[in-house]
Amino acid sequence: MIIILKSGHTQSQLDEVKLIVEKHQCEPILIKGTFKTTVNVLGDDTQIDADLFRQLAGVEEVIRIAAPYRLASRTFKKEDTTINIKGVTYGPGHFVIMGGPCAVESEDQTYRIARAVKKAGANVLRGGAYKPRTSPYAFQGMGEDGLKILRAVSDETGLPVITEALDSKSLEMVYKYGDIIQVGTRNMQNFSLLKEVSKLDKPVMIKRGMSSTIDEWLLAAEYVLAGGNHQVMLCERGIRSFDARYTRNVIDLGAVPVAKALSHLPVVVDPSHGSGRKENVIPMSLASLAVGADSILVDVHDDATKALCDGPQALTPPEFEGLVKKLHRVASALDIKIKG
Amino acid sequence: MIIILKSGHTQSQLDEVKLIVEKHQCEPILIKGTFKTTVNVLGDDTQIDADLFRQLAGVEEVIRIAAPYRLASRTFKKEDTTINIKGVTYGPGHFVIMGGPCAVESEDQTYRIARAVKKAGANVLRGGAYKPRTSPYAFQGMGEDGLKILRAVSDETGLPVITEALDSKSLEMVYKYGDIIQVGTRNMQNFSLLKEVSKLDKPVMIKRGMSSTIDEWLLAAEYVLAGGNHQVMLCERGIRSFDARYTRNVIDLGAVPVAKALSHLPVVVDPSHGSGRKENVIPMSLASLAVGADSILVDVHDDATKALCDGPQALTPPEFEGLVKKLHRVASALDIKIKG
Amino acid sequence: MIIILKSGHTQSQLDEVKLIVEKHQCEPILIKGTFKTTVNVLGDDTQIDADLFRQLAGVEEVIRIAAPYRLASRTFKKEDTTINIKGVTYGPGHFVIMGGPCAVESEDQTYRIARAVKKAGANVLRGGAYKPRTSPYAFQGMGEDGLKILRAVSDETGLPVITEALDSKSLEMVYKYGDIIQVGTRNMQNFSLLKEVSKLDKPVMIKRGMSSTIDEWLLAAEYVLAGGNHQVMLCERGIRSFDARYTRNVIDLGAVPVAKALSHLPVVVDPSHGSGRKENVIPMSLASLAVGADSILVDVHDDATKALCDGPQALTPPEFEGLVKKLHRVASALDIKIKG
Amino acid sequence: MIIILKSGHTQSQLDEVKLIVEKHQCEPILIKGTFKTTVNVLGDDTQIDADLFRQLAGVEEVIRIAAPYRLASRTFKKEDTTINIKGVTYGPGHFVIMGGPCAVESEDQTYRIARAVKKAGANVLRGGAYKPRTSPYAFQGMGEDGLKILRAVSDETGLPVITEALDSKSLEMVYKYGDIIQVGTRNMQNFSLLKEVSKLDKPVMIKRGMSSTIDEWLLAAEYVLAGGNHQVMLCERGIRSFDARYTRNVIDLGAVPVAKALSHLPVVVDPSHGSGRKENVIPMSLASLAVGADSILVDVHDDATKALCDGPQALTPPEFEGLVKKLHRVASALDIKIKG
């Protein structure tokens, strides 16, 4: 951490800075430059709140040098985290294909689609029972009944299931019936939910907030790691930009190699929600594999024209099967394994 | 709602569109243009999920003409909503000054600051007992103890108190001790929380999400209105942009006249969290009044160098007093009343 | 400038850093922290290209502490720059109202509108003869004929005129006929144009690029100052955001106090192009004054329904007159003078 | 085009709308909905300026249905445009690798790097003689001397050369010495330059503006096509977002399939300028191929630690050679040809 002092700061203002640094068992190093005077903080400053300095009258700016997260960083843990769930491995050298309906709509629909994605080559089943919807008038999900269907279908097909929790109550249910807990983009900074997830012993996938920086995304992971749950995956799902005419969001594929350089956690891409249009799902899935993601999460629906949620972005089972074949060819060109 | 068909769509694809329109008690009007064919929807289409059309194979794009919210719109209710709480009025012709510490830190600190802001001319006390913090290692608020302090201080000073709820549990407490419930920027799309707030009979202020569109902000209000709570205020608090070097966020003051044109709800501005730096708080407060906001929410701290939260943006009591005097002069020039 | 070294950097990589620092007559100060080693640069580093360090194998990140501009900064020149043009003063304590048509369309139209804005209380006439249009099929301006009209109208009304140059050829004409040269948002980083403007002896107003940071805006001003033209004004005209449904851009009023704190140059706001809708122009003009801008630039048209350019944002002369009256009242409440 | 009228519009306001529609040889169709009345425009409305309606008192909003560009669209020309230059083909089924130094620094440097990229498998040489730099104090390019070097090196190696023009003067030189003209991101809306380029008979590559929508990008291409130059390529080079800490821009790979669906023009990706850091260049190059781009443009430097421009993002020749090998493997998996 480097603290830049204001021109014309007083000695006592400088002393306030030094005092706070020392209170945190760090050492302040004073550097008088031509234009600015700075205090470099020596020691472990990752957990000092930078605002403690920013609010001082003599301070102009505070710049973090070490990342504000610890457990999520490569500095803390060099080797890649590998997550194993019922025979599926997220981690280096592997690529996991997750597919299924955006929302569970009925037992029959879920069975049909799950069997189709399994046949096409998916490794994990996706499906939502609790849906966060922008409008109060849109379909809000089947709730616990939906989770029971997912559990039964997962058991029958042998595909582990990933499903989203929205709050304390739904988390309890998702933990009971699901295999991987999904925290959605709108909940990335729902710190109450992150703390509850951190107490559980099932893997969690945290979607990046739609306007979250990479540091904030890793700090959300830090909340879960700090509470004791080390099975954390990150998911890039598209960020908000100035142009939403043709794609709902901009998928920031460049964030994948960055997150993998900064952190040891697996990184997933969601090309369906990131685009919002199925024409982009196949090329962006291939690009996700090529850019180094560990997994993708794809919406599949066998009658998208009647889907209750996000139909425009769902692939049909034959389209999904075509995608899986291409993924196998590209993975093979890049020496990456896909199960099944 | 206007549904644009793809070039080369089939008759049966068109029939699917018509069928869905008719199922919602609306009438489809077909228009064949030179480049595109469209279906205009006649009738009340505010509650039709546009994705029902987007996912059809023959549909290229769906454009909403009526706003997707009803209860929050001026179409539904022409006259401005006025909210009265313990003698303070939010609504046309009035301007309400809310001030206080970002976080309740102790009984003594809260009393001192509350008396200071009251003396300076504040109408409502602000203060947080539950703090959403980006880092798990930052101060997370005093919880119920903080709320008890706020209640006692509010009763003594006669200033109603606004305070934030983060989740079900804290909402129960905030409802018990507070006068106005605040929903923060990170919770604007926490739909579980919005639904619970909608069942309560105390006023609620919904901060705009940091990358939420104006429509999404009004849809968040719609969640609360639709559940039966009509005492809703909106709060612009700064949106995320490409330049965070000098101000943490960009306060979108242009959203104030837009929100007031679209909706009948009062609109507040938070110049403190919107800027993140105190040098900007006074000019942006004056600009908020000039642009037509109904109220501002200002962080005040009498020893900001020791504040546990967001100190860099807090005004001192004398600075706050100077601001209130300027606000009175500008309000008077604009024929707007400020209480006290 | 602070250079953060990579973990595991070698001695020779460190030596490369030091060598470059020393070549620029600065002194490298090595600080070994717990997580990172840094090199602080002592001396005048404002003109060192940070990429010289970033491209070294041992360097992780380079952080500028002093601003990358010199002549535009308050560090270089403490007192506010005042610009005088034919009896109008831009600078502290004054507020200048500029108004007129977006584009010159005819002699008659320009005379009519100029007389109307003068009568209403404008201090400077605006009008464009060269129009940058997103579509090649839109009206591109009257060119030199338009400038001749502006010159004649300016002479008759006594209002100095501000008008935009797009390239070398139009700059020659604008310099010949205009009083203040406008560089538009799309040309803020047209460095060829900035260099040519820097050789001229007429005032120039540089509009902020629609996605330019405040630093980039000041660097554009630096191009003009560095070439020898010291009569530079900055203009905030709205930045691009994720929501363009109701306002074309987001006017970043918070950038006004920031730019005035960093730089000594006058700051203008354009509430017309910033909003793109006339309903917002009056409130945003009042807010511009309240936030501390030195001037505003307002589109006025007496028959906006026939305007050839940007009609939706133009005020009518009576609306403009009403605005000027309100501006006088607010200016008076804030002890600011408006001429006339 | 659909024109939405304001609630409470008058008959004469509606007549104004109809009149303008009819003046443009189109037919107005009136639709009275429950909440809003609209006028659908029948006929070729691509070249009507939507502001002509927006500025009418009775109009609330205007929505374009047909794209505002014609010549750039697939509606106008269904089959993909193929560009051939000295034996290199941009178009379906091919993938072109362009590589070279960001800036020409000397004859020796350019020869060395050109030979290296040719040996590694590049098809086209890149190099800049005119550099747009944010700071007036940074290296601005070698100018005509640099172009002469590029021409000689291109002739010797047989690699066609792509190089950037900044203004009229440099365009004349670039046309004389170069094979493909590059219009940079800051000039995408330099309409004077686009018009001059449109008169030339050499291919041009237009980089997307850093905050340009896809429609604006295609309208920039339209300027060149409308002037008569049909050899136009688009280039995605990264857009501005809220997080520039780890990558300078966000490369919008999803824009590639969108642009190829809307337009028949070839689409290039620049993974070097888009990231600003070499660690991301290899994965983003592979992803560009996988997502369907026709070409990539990669910075290569054999002594990046001494590069005068953008060194941090340049690959070394061996890194570039490794990338080309991987590109060949992935291209082969996707049935795409790379020359050489």
ipTM confidence score: 0.92
pLDDT of residue B238: 96
Q: Is the pLDDT of residue B111 over 70?
A: yes
Q: Which residues in chain C touch residue D312, judged by CB atoms under 8 angstroms apart?
A: 51, 54-55
pLDDT of residue B264: 98
Distance from CA of A8 to the nearest CA of C (A): 12
Task: Please provide the average confidence, as pLDDT, over all residues in chain B.
Answer: 92
Distance from CA of C93 to the nearest CA of D (A): 32
pLDDT of residue A64: 83
pLDDT of residue A176: 97
Q: Is the pLDDT of residue B337 over 90?
A: yes
pLDDT of residue B47: 78
C63 near A CB under 8 A: yes
Other beta carbons within 10 Å of D66:
18
Q: Is the pLDDT of residue B152 over 70?
A: yes
**B306 near B314, Cβ under 8 Å?**
no
* Local confidence band at B162 (pLDDT 50, 70, 90 cut-offs): very high
pTM: 0.92
- CA-wise closest residue to C97 among C124, C116, C126: C124
In the numeric block, the tokens 């201090």 are attached to C123
Cβ <8 Å between A65 and C242: no
pLDDT in tens, B184-210: 999 999 999 999 999 999 999 999 999
Partners of residue A298 on adjacent β-strands: A99
Q: Is the pLDDT of residue B180 over 90?
A: yes
- CA-wise closest residue to D189 among D169, D207, D202, D201: D207
pLDDT of residue A35: 78
Most confident range, picked from A8-12, A58-62, B185-189: B185-189
* Local confidence band at D329 (pLDDT 50, 70, 90 cut-offs): very high
Closest partner CB to C242 (pick from A34, A44, A240): A240
DSSP class of D216: H
Other beta carbons within 10 Å of A104:
28
% of chain D surpassing 70 pLDDT: 98
Long-range contacts of B18-23, Cβ-Cβ distance < 8 Å, separation of 24 or more: B20/B48, B20/B52, B20/B53, B20/B56
Q: Is the pLDDT of residue B11 over 70?
A: yes
Touching B: D residues 132-151, CB under 8 Å: none
Q: Which residues 6+ apart lie within 8 Å of A146 measured at CB?
A: A103, A104, A127, A128, A129, A130
Q: Which residues in chain C touch residue A244, judged by CB atoms under 8 angstroms apart?
A: 242
Cβ <8 Å between D190 and C190: yes
Cβ <8 Å between A250 and D246: no
Other beta carbons within 10 Å of C219:
26
CA atoms within 13 A on the CB side of D113: 32
C-alpha distances out from residue B98 to A154, B111, B176, C4, Å: 53, 15, 20, 43
C68 near B CB under 8 A: no
pLDDT in tens, D95-137: 999 999 999 999 999 999 999 999 999 999 999 999 888 888 8
Chain B adjacent subunits, 3+ CB pairs under 8 A: A, C, D
pLDDT in tens, D194-219: 999 999 999 999 999 999 999 999 99
Touching A: B residues 245-304, CB under 8 Å: 304
Taking residues A8-26, report their average pLDDT: 90
pLDDT in tens, B24-33: 888 998 888 8
Q: Is the pLDDT of residue C305 over 80?
A: no
* Residue with the larger pLDDT of the pair B54 and C85: C85
State phi, psi for B56 to the nearest 5 degrees. -80, 145
pLDDT of residue B304: 67
Taking residues C4-20, report their average pLDDT: 90
Q: Is the pLDDT of residue D162 over 80?
A: yes
* Residue with the larger pLDDT of the pair D133 and A239: A239
pLDDT of residue D335: 96
Taking residues D22-50, report their average pLDDT: 86
Closest partner CB to A254 (pick from D245, D258, D280): D280
**C55 near C34, Cβ under 8 Å?**
no
Task: Please provide the average confidence, as pLDDT, over all residues in chain A.
Answer: 93
- CA-wise closest residue to C217 among C193, C202, C233: C233
Q: Is the pLDDT of residue B81 over 70?
A: yes
Taking residues C269-298, report their average pLDDT: 94
A236 near D CB under 8 A: no
pLDDT in tens, A206-236: 999 999 999 999 999 999 999 999 999 999 9
Q: Which residues in chain A touch residue C240, judged by CB atoms under 8 angstroms apart?
A: 242
Closest partner CB to A250 (pick from D246, D250, D292): D250
DSSP class of A141: -
How many residue pairs from chains A and D have C-beta atoms closer than 8 A? 119
Cβ <8 Å between D33 and B242: no
**B128 near B103, Cβ under 8 Å?**
yes
B242 near A CB under 8 A: no
Q: Is the pLDDT of residue A169 over 80?
A: yes
Q: Which residues 6+ apart lie within 8 Å of C43 measured at CB?
A: A33, A34, C24, C25, C26, C27
pLDDT of residue B7: 83
pLDDT of residue C259: 97
Dmax (CA) for chain D in angstroms is 74
Other beta carbons within 10 Å of C36:
17
Closest partner CB to C290 (pick from B247, B275, B330): B330
Q: Which residues in chain A touch residue D289, judged by CB atoms under 8 angstroms apart?
A: 290
* Local confidence band at B142 (pLDDT 50, 70, 90 cut-offs): very high
C335 near B CB under 8 A: no
Q: Is the pLDDT of residue A69 over 80?
A: yes
SS3 state of residue A321: helix
Q: Which residues in chain C touch residue B291, judged by CB atoms under 8 angstroms apart?
A: 283-284, 286-287
Residue ranges with strand state E in chain B: 2-5, 27-32, 37-42, 59-63, 83-85, 88-90, 94-100, 124-126, 161-165, 180-183, 204-207, 232-236, 267-269, 295-299, 337-338
Cβ <8 Å between C34 and A40: no
pLDDT in tens, B284-317: 999 999 999 999 999 999 886 677 777 778 899 9
Among chain C residues, the shortest Cα distance to B272 is held by C254
Cβ <8 Å between C190 and D189: no
Task: Please provide the average confidence, as pLDDT, over all residues in chain D.
Answer: 92
Closest partner CB to A247 (pick from D239, D254, D275): D254
Q: Is the pLDDT of residue C306 over 80?
A: no
pLDDT in tens, C205-262: 999 999 999 999 999 999 999 999 999 999 999 999 999 888 889 999 999 999 999 9
D52 near B CB under 8 A: no
pLDDT in tens, A176-208: 999 999 999 999 999 999 999 999 999 999 999
pLDDT of residue D304: 67
Chain C adjacent subunits, 3+ CB pairs under 8 A: A, B, D
